[in-house]
Amino acid sequence: MRFFSYLSSFISAWRDYPAEENTVLGNRYTIQQMIGEGSYGILYQCLDQQSGCVVAVKQSRPSKGDYARQLLNREAAVLRSLQHPQIPAYRDFFSNNRNCYLVMSYINGDTLEDLIFEQDMKYEEDECIEITLQLLKLVRYIHEQGYVHLDLRIPNVLFKDGRINLIDFGLARRIGEPPPLHVPARKKFKRNSSASSVKYKDSKESEDLRDIGHFMLFMLYSTYEPDNNRSAVVERSWQEELHLSIELQNMIKRLLQLSEPYLSSLEFMNELQSLANARNHPSDKDKKGSL
């Protein structure tokens, strides 16, 4: 029994082995390098021989058969519906006997993890609010088109030239659409690695907002300095470790659904914008109190 299990794994790995550099896909797209893979797809950076542009090509994973092709068709449909300069643009879709291929505009950039751990960036409350508002405007656009992203993780938010870009719409669904039924465990698509299996979320705006809450905390922890005098055994909550204003703390609690959740991304965006305005333009009463 173990032998057949090993043989099956070996065959799957052989079938899923990434294509080599300089391989031409669809008689048009020359592979420059593989830039990521997940359980249901492989992502390549390619040169479009017709336009001379660098593009991203996502291939369905051969060993996953029809379901992988179905997922990629679904992602292509989402990208066709979204036309935004900070979201990958749909370019092409083609298939051969075994695989489907989705061609998108190539978006490169730094993740928040890159900025914090490699470039030593620190984010105070004001910077966190500004960046979150940028992300929210993009997420709000997606929601207005009737979709939820459902995978707003650190690797999928890219910073480039002062703008935020959002990639990987493999889990996106229509708002209110039920999750897939009887689906085998799937690993999240992540550049350069494979992550843990996916637990499908409800197709609600609140799920994207929860991800944004975690994104904000990751950013704010860039300024955290541990107390070396405190016992490491005693765990503290983020409310205790981060010295946040009560207004921002309450917002994050609502995002994480630790208190009454926001009804929509628009509600949160308006509230966060009001906080930003108040911090940038304090009232006369606040000015007098600081004298």
The residues carrying an active-site annotation are 151
- Contact between 153 and 211 (Cβ < 8 Å): yes
Nearest 10 degrees: CA dihedral of 71, 202, 106, 36?
Answer: -70
Among 129, 86, 87, CA closest to 255: 129
Distance CA 268, CA 291 (A): 32
Count the Cβ atoms, other than its own, within 10 Å of residue 42.
23
- 141 burial (CB, 10 Å; 0-12 / 13-18 / 19+) is middle
In angstroms, the CA 202 to CA 208 distance is 10
Partners of 64 in the β-ladder: none
Q: Report whether 287 belongs to an annotated binding site.
A: no
Binding site: residue ranges?
58
Q: Could you list the residues known to form a binding site for ATP, using ranges.
A: 58
